[in-house]
Amino acid sequence: MTIPELSHAIQSLGLMTYIRESGYTYPMIMSTHLACIGVFGGFILLTDLRLLGWALTDIPISTVINGLRVWKRVGFCIMFTMGFLLGTSEMDKYYANPYFQTKMLLLVTVAVHAIVFKPQVYDHPEWLDKAPRTPGVAKVAAICSLLIWIAIPCMGRMIAYYEPPKAQQVLSTEGDARNYSVHVSPTEAQERRLRISSDGRG
C-alpha cells in the first residue's frame, strides 16, 4: 500500500469522513485544539519562562513543575486527540504538505526532548531549587522547549497555506480548467479567502 493509498484509506474511515463533511464538528474540534493551545500551551511556555528566570520568579521551580505537570499532560492529551482527528480527516491533502510533515517531525522532537531532559530536569526539580543559580541544563531544556512549542503551532497554521505544485493545480478562475487534467481542490486558506470574499469584498 502506497502512502497516498494509505492516506486515502485513513480519511475514508467513517469518523474521519463525518468530521470532514460535517458543518460544525470540524470547527468545534479545531476550536478545542486552539483553546488547549491557549490554556495548556501557555502553561508550557510559562514553565519554560520560569526555568529561564523570566516569569514566576519568586515561586520555586519545583512548585511550578510539580503543580503544572498533571495539567500539561491533560492538555497535551486533548490537544493531541483533537489534532489527530483534524489531521486524519484531511489525510489526502496533508500527507504531502511540507508544513504538516515538519509539524510531525517537531512532535517527534517533543519525545526526544522528554527523553533527554526529563530525568535531569523535570523528574527531580527539587535539586534545581537548591542550586544557587538555575543550572545550565535546565535553561537549555527551557530554550529547546520554547523553540519547539512555538514552532509547532506556527507549522500547524501554515499547513493551511501550502499550495500543491503548479502542475496539479487548477489555476483558473477564468475557466481554463479543461487544460488541467488533475483537479485538486484549493488549499484551505484559498477556500477561506474565497468564502470570505464572496460576501463583501468583491
Footprint on this chain of other proteins (rule: CB under 8 A): 26-27, 30-31, 34-35, 37-43, 45-46, 49, 55-59, 63-64, 66-68, 71, 150, 153-154, 157-158, 160-161, 189, 192, 195-201
Q: Residue 172 or 197: which CB sits closer to other proteins?
A: 197
Q: Residue 136 or 200: which CB sits closer to other proteins?
A: 200
Q: How far is the CB of 45 from other proteins (least distance, A)?
A: 6
Q: Residue 16 or 155: which CB sits closer to other proteins?
A: 155
Q: Are 5 and 74 in contact (CB under 8 A)?
A: no
Q: How far is the CB of 181 from other proteins (least distance, A)?
A: 26
Q: How far is the CB of 65 from other proteins (least distance, A)?
A: 9
What does the alpha-carbon distance between residue 59 and residue 165 come to, in Å, rounded to a whole number? Answer: 51
60 alpha-carbon distance from chain centroid: 30
* CA-closest candidate to residue 158, choices 94, 69, 92, 82: 94
CA angle, 69 as apex, 65 and 74 as ends, to 5°? 155
Q: Residue 70 or 115: which CB sits closer to other proteins?
A: 70
**Which cell is 47 given?**
514553565
What does the alpha-carbon distance between residue 70 and residue 60 come to, in Å, rounded to a whole number? Answer: 17
Q: Residue 2 or 198: which CB sits closer to other proteins?
A: 198
Q: How far is the CB of 9 from other proteins (least distance, A)?
A: 27
CA angle, 148 as apex, 142 and 154 as ends, to 5°? 135
* CA-closest candidate to residue 146, choices 124, 117, 126, 104: 117
Q: How far is the CB of 35 from other proteins (least distance, A)?
A: 5
